């Protein structure tokens, strides 16, 4: 069995599970995986750029981006588990009779917890987008197309994370908390969505214009 075949089998299992009726991995976990793949591509761009004569002046910066992208890749993979673990008690709470003792308090607590992992995913993906924004400028032209793919994966994951925040905040009784989280995540979405699309367009122009 080749090394790639082994990896493909793991990915097949994940996608098969995501396609099933099981609630996890759902949108949050899949968003985390997409973000992790984006971080992986950002790191690949640095690996293909570091050491090239034209970019020697950026070696220190590229090395720092490489290290951070590697950390982001791992952290976003961890978010798959975090999202699943946060959803489990919420799923159990949904199954309780609404008139059971402490139902409202338990549901509120579970909603608060379930909203945290997708918020974390958004923050990590925002950072991936920032790294790609720089790689669009200092990444090797032979690899910069992968920074474009990276930034769009992070862009999609950002939207997925946001959706998984608001699907929880909409049911919260503590509207002050919910509104504050919604506002924070909406601002993140608007800011970094624009950055991602601009970065993608900048890379397209760099490749077309030579």
Collapsing DSSP to helix, strand or coil, 86 comes out as: helix
Q: 38-96 pLDDT, tens per residue?
A: 999 999 999 999 999 999 999 999 999 999 999 999 999 999 999 999 999 898 888 88
Give pLDDT tens digits for 162-171. Answer: 999 999 999 9
User: For residue 70, what pLDDT is reported?
Assistant: 98
The answer to whether residues 77 and 33 touch, using CB atoms and an 8 Å cutoff, is yes
DSSP H helices in the chain: 3-19, 27-49, 59-94, 103-138, 144-169, 175-209
Q: Which of 19, 22, 29, 18 is nearest to 161 (CA)?
A: 29
CATH number of 26-209: 1.20.120.680
More confident residue, 62 or 13: 62
For position 1, what pLDDT does the model report?
47
Q: Which residue has the tokens 């591509």?
A: 41
Residue 14 has pLDDT above 80, yes or no: yes
Mean pLDDT of 95-111: 90
Computed over every residue of the chain, the mean pLDDT equals: 94
Domain ranges in the chain are 26-209
Average pLDDT of span 24-35: 94
- Contact yes or no for 103/166 (Cβ under 8 A): no
- What's the CA gap between 46 and 59, in Å, rounded? 9
Q: Is the pLDDT assigned to residue 37 strictly greater than 50?
A: yes
CA distance 74 to 33: 10
**pTM of the predicted structure, to 2 decimals:** 0.93
């Amino acid at each position: 069995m080749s090394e790639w075949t082994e990896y493909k089998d793991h990915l097949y299992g994940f996608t098969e599970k995501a396609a099933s009726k099981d609630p996890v991995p759902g949108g949050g976990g899949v968003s985390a995986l997409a973000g992790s793949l984006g971080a992986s591509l950002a790191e690949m761009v640095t690996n293909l750029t570091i050491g090239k004569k034209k970019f020697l002046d950026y070696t220190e910066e590229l090395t720092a981006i490489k290290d951070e992208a590697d950390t982001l890749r791992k952290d976003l993979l961890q978010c798959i588990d975090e999202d699943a673990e946060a959803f489990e008690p919420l799923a159990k709470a949904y199954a309780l009779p609404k008139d059971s003792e402490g139902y409202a308090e338990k549901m509120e607590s579970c909603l608060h917890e379930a909203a945290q992992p997708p918020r974390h995913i958004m923050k990590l993906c925002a950072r991936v987008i920032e790294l790609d924004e720089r790689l669009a400028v200092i990444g090797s032209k032979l690899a910069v197309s992968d920074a474009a793919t990276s930034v769009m994966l992070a862009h999609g994951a950002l939207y997925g994370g946001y959706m998984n925040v608001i699907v929880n905040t909409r049911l919260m009784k503590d509207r002050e908390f919910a509104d504050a989280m919604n506002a924070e995540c909406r601002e993140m979405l608007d800011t970094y969505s624009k950055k991602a699309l601009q970065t993608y367009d900048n890379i397209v122009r760099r490749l077309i214009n030579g």
